[in-house]
Amino acid sequence: MIALTLSEIAGVTGGSLRPGGGRDAASVVDGVVTTDSREITAGGIFVAKPGEVTDGHLFAPAAVDQGAALLIVERELDLPVAQVVVSDAVAALGALATLVVARVRALGRLKVVGITGSNGKTTTKNLLRAVLERVGPTVAPRASFNNEVGAPVTMLQLTEDTRFLVAEMGASGIGEIARLVRMARPDIGIVLKVGLAHAGEFGGIEGTVRAKTEMVTDLEPTDVAVLNADDPRVAGMAAHTRARVLWFGHGADAAVRATDVTVSAAGTGFTLHLASGQSRPVVFRVLGEHHVMNALAAAAAAEELGVPIDDIVSALESVQTAERGRMEVLGRADGVTVINDAYNASPDSMMAALKTLAQIARPGQRTIAVLGEMSELGEFSGEEHDRIGLLAVRLNIAQVVVVGRGARRMHISTINEGSWDGESAYVDTADEAFELVTATARPGDIVLVKSSNAAGLMALGDRLGESFS
């Protein structure tokens, strides 16, 4: 974080300063800011956030032991360290992030890219980071730090030297993306896709559209909205922004587009066409045709930021995995190949993963899909699980293993659609799935493991990958 006095921190957060640990209002701090006491280093700031399961205040002593210089708390603690007492720790975290971004932006070098969408945010963020790091100091979130806590924690990593901030922005309700946009004030806002991910929390697809539109509504006329031309719901956002619109997609009307797409177990090849008219072939090692759209979005933003096409292509080609647990290839090519895509799942990403599984299989190569629940779909849950079961049959997936009661309708749908004899199996637990797959898989098989994170199948994917390695 940039250097700030305790007085400045108290002022921007609306808190009351309690000096301590040899520090007073004029003392300066510039260490890491975190809500996780395990991540505190000497001189850092620990934000004691009350949670649904536990209370961050309970971990404040550990943060002090780790060398915290300041605590941001909702009640004063009997600890020998300076404290800023606030009414809402999460709001204070956001206010502090807003100040830091504004201070660094005022230096005249910082450019901010915001990314949202029902799917692909983390992959696009990783791709864009890989590109931008080649031309300047870049801050981007780890994993999926994209909510009211993770996003400001990322923003607080800025220093005076930072040239690019990539801010991933997720939401579980209306107004949350708008709040993050006000913190970061993106120069470029990317909207990838609007789908049924978290639709239950938004009250339906139209609520999801309204939430994602928040990415572009507050952009200035000098800013750029990078929009998916292939998604009608995203395309409609052009009417709600004052920013210049830059389209990406597969169609000829998109300024940034892909042609000549080929898919194999080694990755995805395509020709990248940029808005400038330049084009280059790309050997993209991230598995799955659906990730080409994420690469296009990253390339569009990078060109807007002045990155040469050769650097864009070189960076895209250097990325081997979208993210831990996202189309992550495990096992050996001469044995059973495991694709662990169980970090998260929505109907769109589940369909994309199954289509990829079918696409990359060579003639005669057996495909196995181990599928768990797609969470947060609300009233759409039943019909969407049915659709996935039907799709698995229509794609001729050789073996479906459905795990957990929340996903059981997928199993019923595969049976009803295909009248299979054992090609679809249902088990209650990941352990049962492991036993079934290891007992029946044979060299040359490709095994996809896909579910929402809440279903807990990512560990199963890792376990299968280790078993077949």
Q: What is the CA radius of gyration of the chain?
A: 23
Residue 239: count of CB within 10 angstroms of its CB: 9
CA distance 343 to 450: 8
User: CA dist 26 to 9, 89, 98, 164, 238, Å?
Assistant: 11, 22, 21, 30, 47
CA angle 23, 54, 37 (to 5 degrees): 35
Residue 87: count of CB within 10 angstroms of its CB: 11
User: Which residue, among 382, 383, 388, 434, has the nearest Cα to 414 in the 3D structure?
Assistant: 388
Residue 428: count of CB within 10 angstroms of its CB: 11
User: CA dist 199 to 125, 205, 236, 379, 390, Å?
Assistant: 22, 6, 19, 9, 21
- Known binding positions for ATP: 117-123
Q: Is 5 exposed, middle or buried (0-12, 13-18, 19+ CB in 10 A)?
A: middle
CA distance 414 to 412: 6
**Cα 12 to chain center, whole Å?**
29
What is the token pair recorded at 336?
């059973």
- Known binding positions: 117-123
